[in-house]
Structure 1
C-alpha cells in the first residue's frame, strides 16, 4: 500500500509540474527587465552590497531601510543562506537569530515551534505563531521552496501583523514573480527516507506590460529516523504586474497538504530523559493526521507622489485538519514494571480554521522646517475562526507500554459503529488595529515614536464560553545615534500583546497577555560594510500570563491571568564576509527567563530556555566551483518542564557541507551539495513540551543529505 500511495502522489506532482511547464512554454523569451518583487532591496554602503542581515526593519518601522537606521533588533535571513547551511526547517533557519530557541509542538516536522527572548510563543494552544508576508497564519508550515527570507524582530513593537508578540515576531517572506525568465529544479535525498523535489519556474508574460508569473511545486518527506512519516506537498502560483515606480499589483494562490503522525518523543525519569535508544517510538496512532491549507492573497501598492505610497494586502486562508494522536499519559503506573506508562488516543476528526485579513498602510517622507519625517499609518482588520471537534476514544484501545521493553501493535481503532462522546473547541477572534508612527531624522539622530490601538473581541473554549472584549494601546519609542557611518547606538521602549487561548473556571475567555521591553544596543559595520555586528541588552516583562486556577484543582484547563514573567539578557551577532572568499555567521545569547507570579510555578525558570546559546557558521569558497561550510551549534542545559523537575543536558552539534557548482552558459548552472549533519553523532535533546517532561524530543544522530540544483 505504501508503494502505491507514493507512486500516485508522484504522478500527481509530476502532472502539476507538467501543467506549469505547458502554461509557460509558449511564452517567448525576452530580455530581463526590472524586477517585480516585495523583497527588501540590499542597501549599498561604500560601494559594497551589505550582508542580508542588514536588510531592513519593515517589521519594526513599517518601511524598508537598512537596519543600521532602525532603533530595534531586526534580522533578515536569506533563504539561500539556510540552504547553504543544509537547513530544511524553521528551527534550522532560526539558529541564525540570537535568542531564538526551540520549543515543542506536535503538528509534524514541517510545523515547528520556537521561543524568542525567553517568551513562550504558545499560550496554551497547540498553534505556532508566525507571519506569512505580514499576516499571522496559525500553524502555517515552513516550506523551503517558498521562502525568500525569514525576517525577525526580537522583542515587541512590530508595526505590521495586527499585533506584536511578546518575545518577537517571525515573518516568512515568500517568493514572488519577478521580471526575469528563470527557473530551477531541486532534488534532495537524505537518510531515513528524507526527500525533497522542487520545480520553480518564473516567466515574463509581457515585457511591455511588465507582467510576470511564477509557479513553484514541491514535495518534501521529512526524515523518518523516529519511524514517523511526515509528507508535505505544495504548489504556489503567482502573477504580478507593475510599471516600476507608480504601482505594483500581485495575486497569489497556495495549496499545502501535509500528512504526518504526531511524535511525542520520550519521557523523563528521575529528572533525566530515559536511557533508551533515541529513535524509540511510543505513539501508535490508528491513522494519519492531515492538514490542508488553501491561501489566496492580493497585494497592491500605489505611489500617490514620489514621497507617498499606499499599500493594500488581502489574505484568505481556509484550513481543514484531522488529528489522530496516541501518546504516553500521566506518571509511570504503580504496581507495574518500572517505566510502564498508560497511553491515550485522541481524535479530532474535522477541524476547520478560517482567517481573513485586510491591511492598509500609508508611508510618506516629508520635510518640515528642515526636519525629515518618515510617516507610517496602518489599519488592519483580522478575523480568525476555529471549529475543532474532538471525540473521546475508549481507554481500552490504547494498552499501557513499557518504555524499556515495549510491545508494539496493541493499539486499536475505536470499534466500528460505536458513537463516541463528542466535545468541541471554538475560537472566534475579531481584531481591528490602527497604528501611527513617525521617524524623525535630524542630523546624526533618529527618533521613532509609534502608537498602536487594538480593539478586539475574543472567544476561545467550549460551547457557551463567553467572549472577552478589550481595547489596548501599545506605545513604542526608539532613539538612534549615528556615531559614524559605521557605528550606531540605540535604545527603545516597546510593548505588545497576544491573546491567551484558554478560558476560565467561569467559562469566560481571558484577556490578552501583555509585554513591555526596555532595550539598548550597538550596531556596527566592518570591512567596508561587508561585515555587520550588533549587541543588544534587554529586559522583557510579561503580565496577564495564564496561571492555574487554584479554586478548581481537579480541572487542568481552568486558568486565570494572574501570572507574570521576566526575561533579560544579552544578544550578539556577526554576519557577512571576512574576506572575498570567507563568509561567517555567528550568534551568542545569554537569556535569563523566569516566572514571577504563578500559582504553581512562581520563581521557576522558563522551560526550553538555556542561559547560554551560541552558533558559529563559516563558508569558504576555494574557487568558482568549490566551497566548504562548517557550523557549530552550542546550547547549555535547560529545564524540560515548568516544574523544573527535569533537566535537558547542554550539547554541541557540528555540521559540515561541501558544494560543487558549475556554470553551463546561457544563464544555466548546476550545483551539488553534500551535507553531514551532527557529524560526531552527538546524543542531545532538541526541546520538551512546555508543561510536562514526558514528551521530550531527541535530536537526530549523524546523517547525510545530498542536494542537486539545476538553474536555467
Structure 2
C-alpha cells in the first residue's frame, strides 16, 4: 500500500471518491469535516464518502485495483472514472516477475509490447495503436521518457486509454502510462530478495521502511535493486542499479509532505544490429561489433510532494521534481535487403551522446460542495516545465560481415557527428475541470486546458550555430457523462482531445477520441470487469521512418485512425483462484498522407495487430500453517498478425502465441521460493523488420528467494 492510501486516522477509516467528483486524490488520511450522516449511515461530505467498511487498494497483496492515482487529476474510483483504465499492481508485477515495463504491460488490454524484440535501448509499447505518454506520479517524464524504467521502483502502473491533454497537457493520443512511486508508509515493513536465472541474470533487491518518531509523524522508505547479467547473445551485458530514499512528514491528518531522491544507472548492450532477412537465425548469433555495442544511462531524480486539506472543502496539492540524465550509446547494425545474394551483408554504425535536465511542477486546488441532491467538485491548477537537452549523433557506413562465418572488425574510428543539437523547452499551463453528480447516479464532467510552449533550438552540426525557435499555444477539451446503473455497475460516454508535443517547423499533432464503456465491480468480491468501444483519430502526424540507409527521419503523413473494442477482467474468483484476462480488437488505417513521397492512404499501421488476447490464472494450494502454501500460475498471450512497415510491402508478422508459468512455495513463515518461466515453449518469431529482422525474447527461467516482514 502506498502512502497515498495510508491512513493517519484510526485504522479501518478509508476514503473513496464518489463519481468523478474528486480530481485531486486525497490520501486516506482525511479526517471528516463538519458534515451529516445520510440515510445509509455513511458519513457524507460533499462528493466524498468516508466509509469505515471500505478498504483502500493494497497493491502489495492484490492484483485487483479499485482506485486510481494519477497525481490528483482524476477520480480515485475506477468504477466511476469515464475512461478505459488498467492498473498493474505491485502484486501482479511480482507474481509475473516482470523485470521490464514491456513485461509489466504485456497482459494489459489494447497494448502491444516488445515489437522491436531484442532491441533493448528503450521500453517499446503501443496503446490503441499509438504511442503513449509517460508520467511519474502525475507529472510528465518529458525528456526522461526515453529511459527504460525500473518496475521495482513502483507501487503500480496505471494506464488511461486515449488522449487526455486536458488532464495531462501535451501528450500522445494512445493514452497515458503513470508510474506510481513507492513511498513511505506509517508502519514497519520490509522485503529482501535474491534471484538467479537464464543468461546469468543475478539480482538483489530490498524494500523496507518504518516510523521514525514516537509521535508517528515521520516515516521513511528505502528501495534498491542491483542487477548483473547478460543477454541471449555473446559479448553482451545487462547490468543496472537503482536506489530510492524517501521521507514523509505528516504533522496532522490534514497535511503531508514527502521528499524523495532516486538514482538509476544502466550499463548494457542494445543489440540493435538485428539478424539477416533471408532465414531464421539462432538468437545466440551476433552480427554487430563486440567492442562497439554499448548503452550507458544515468539518471538522478529529486521530488517533493505536498498535500493539505482546509476545513471548508478546499484542498491543495503541489508537486515539484528535478531530473538530470545522461544517455550514451553506439552499435553496428545490419543493412540487409531481400534481393541480396551471397553471405556478405552491409553494415552501418550509429550512436549518440545526449544529456537532459528538467524541472517540472504543479499546484492544484479542488473545492467540493453540495447543493441539495447535486454534488459539485471544481478543480483548477497551474503547471510549469523547463527542460534543456543536448545531443550529438553519428552515423556512417561500416565493413560488411559474412553471416555464414562472422569476423569482427573492431570499433569504427575517425567519425564525426552529423547532428549536434541544443534545445530548450518551456511550458506553462492552466487547466480547470468541473464535475457535477446528480443524486449519486449521473455524473457530468467538463474540462479545459491551455498550454503555452516555447522551443528554442541551436544547431551546431556544421560548426556554425544556427538558432531557430517556435511558440505554440494549444487548447484541449474533455467532456464525459457517467451513469451509475447500480452501485456495482456504471456506463459512460466521453470525448477527449490530445495535443502531442510539437517540434519546430511542424504543426502540433492533435488527436480526438469518442468512447463508450461499461464497468462492473460485484459487491462482496474483489473483482473488476470493463468493456469499451472507441474511435480514435490523429491528425498532423509526424512519424519516425527508417530510410534504406538506416537513418531515422521524422516525416508528416497526415491523418490516421484506430477503431476498436476492449475487454478486461481482474478478479479473485474464489479464495484460491485469481484471474487476469483481456481481449482487444483494433482496426487501424492511414486515412490520408504519404511517407517519403509515397502514399500510404488506406494502409494499416505498422506493428498494430487486429487481435490481442491474454489470460493469467493463479491457483493457491493451502499449506500447513507457517509453511507449505503453494501458488501455481499459468499464462497465455496471443498477438495477431500485423504489418512490419507503414508501406505494407515488407511482409506481415506471424501470429504469436506464448505460454508463461510461475510457482511460489512458502518454505517458512514469510519466506518464499519463486520460479518463473517466460515463453515456456521457447517460440521464436520475427516481431520487427526494417533493414534487419528482430526476434522476440527466448525462454527465460528465474528462481528467487524472498523474505518479507
Superposition TM-score, scaled by structure 1 size? 0.84
Distance 1:33 1:243, change over 3 A: farther
1:595 aligns to 2:590 (yes or no): yes
The offset of 1:592, in angstroms, is 1.0
Asked if the contact 2:116/2:695 (under 8 Å) is kept, the reply is: no
Give CA-to-partner distance per residue, 1:610-645, whole Å, 9 cap, x none. Answer: 100101011111115111111001111111222222
**Helix, strand or coil: the match of 1:91?**
helix
Asked if the contact 2:261/2:303 (under 8 Å) is kept, the reply is: yes
The offset of 1:412, in angstroms, is 2.7
Spell out the pairing of 1:539-578 with structure 2 (5 A cutoff). 539-546=535-542, 561=556, 563-578=558-573
The offset of 1:186, in angstroms, is 1.1
Equivalent-residue separation in structure 1 for 2:694 and 2:148 (angstroms): 19
The offset of 1:139, in angstroms, is 2.1
Asked if the contact 1:518/1:538 (under 8 Å) is kept, the reply is: yes
1:525 to 521, 524, 528: 521
The offset of 1:701, in angstroms, is 2.5
1:76 aligns to 2:75 (yes or no): no
The offset of 1:204, in angstroms, is 1.6
1:702 to 693, 699, 702: 699
Give CA-to-partner distance per residue, 1:291-317, whole Å, 9 cap, x none. Answer: 110111111111122622111111111
1:240 aligns to 2:240 (yes or no): no
**Helix, strand or coil: the match of 2:79?**
helix
Distance 1:316 1:617, change over 3 A: same
Equivalent-residue separation in structure 2 for 1:342 and 1:419 (angstroms): 18
Asked if the contact 2:272/2:331 (under 8 Å) is kept, the reply is: no
The equivalent of 2:474 in structure 1 is: 472
Equivalent-residue separation in structure 1 for 2:482 and 2:698 (angstroms): 45
**Helix, strand or coil: the match of 2:399?**
coil
**Helix, strand or coil: the match of 2:91?**
helix
**Helix, strand or coil: the match of 1:326?**
strand
1:150 aligns to 2:157 (yes or no): yes
The equivalent of 2:614 in structure 1 is: 615
Give CA-to-partner distance per residue, 1:489-544, whole Å, 9 cap, x none. Answer: 1110000111245xxxxxx4322211000000111123634221111000000001
Equivalent-residue separation in structure 1 for 2:653 and 2:152 (angstroms): 33
Equivalent-residue separation in structure 2 for 1:277 and 1:588 (angstroms): 32
Asked if the contact 1:53/1:75 (under 8 Å) is kept, the reply is: no
Equivalent-residue separation in structure 2 for 1:683 and 1:287 (angstroms): 23
Asked if the contact 2:265/2:299 (under 8 Å) is kept, the reply is: yes
Superposition TM-score, scaled by structure 2 size? 0.84
The equivalent of 1:319 in structure 2 is: 325
**Helix, strand or coil: the match of 1:81?**
helix
| 4+ residue segments displaced more than 6 Å | 32-51, 105-108, 552-558
The equivalent of 1:351 in structure 2 is: 354
The equivalent of 1:197 in structure 2 is: 204
Stretch deviating more after TM superposition (514-523 or 149-158): 149-158
The equivalent of 1:279 in structure 2 is: 284
Distance 1:48 1:204, change over 3 A: closer
Asked if the contact 1:389/1:423 (under 8 Å) is kept, the reply is: yes
1:90 aligns to 2:90 (yes or no): no
Asked if the contact 2:117/2:694 (under 8 Å) is kept, the reply is: no
The offset of 1:605, in angstroms, is 1.1
The equivalent of 2:258 in structure 1 is: 250
Stretch deviating more after TM superposition (246-255 or 456-465): 456-465
The equivalent of 1:581 in structure 2 is: 576
Equivalent-residue separation in structure 2 for 1:57 and 1:68 (angstroms): 10
Give CA-to-partner distance per residue, 1:347-372, whole Å, 9 cap, x none. Answer: 32x42111110111112211135411
Equivalent-residue separation in structure 2 for 1:682 and 1:107 (angstroms): 14
Equivalent-residue separation in structure 2 for 1:195 and 1:461 (angstroms): 43
Distance 1:223 1:110, change over 3 A: farther
Asked if the contact 2:394/2:415 (under 8 Å) is kept, the reply is: no
The equivalent of 1:6 in structure 2 is: none
1:457 aligns to 2:464 (yes or no): no
Root mean square deviation of aligned Cα: 3.2
The offset of 1:607, in angstroms, is 1.2
Equivalent-residue separation in structure 2 for 1:555 and 1:261 (angstroms): 19
Give CA-to-partner distance per residue, 1:642-698, whole Å, 9 cap, x none. Answer: 22222111111111111012563xxxx11111112222222234x42xxx6234431
Spell out the pairing of 1:460-539 with structure 2 (5 A cutoff). 462-463=459-460, 464=466, 466-501=468-503, 508-526=504-522, 528-539=524-535
The equivalent of 1:606 in structure 2 is: 605
The offset of 1:595, in angstroms, is 1.5
- Could you list the runs of 5+ residues in structure 2 that have no partner in the other structure? 1-9, 16-24, 30-49, 461-465, 624-628
Stretch deviating more after TM superposition (558-567 or 170-179): 558-567
Asked if the contact 1:293/1:318 (under 8 Å) is kept, the reply is: yes
Distance 1:191 1:330, change over 3 A: closer
The offset of 1:209, in angstroms, is 5.0
Equivalent-residue separation in structure 2 for 1:153 and 1:646 (angstroms): 32
- Could you list the runs of 5+ residues in structure 1 that have no partner in the other structure? 1-31, 122-128, 502-507
Asked if the contact 2:165/2:476 (under 8 Å) is kept, the reply is: no
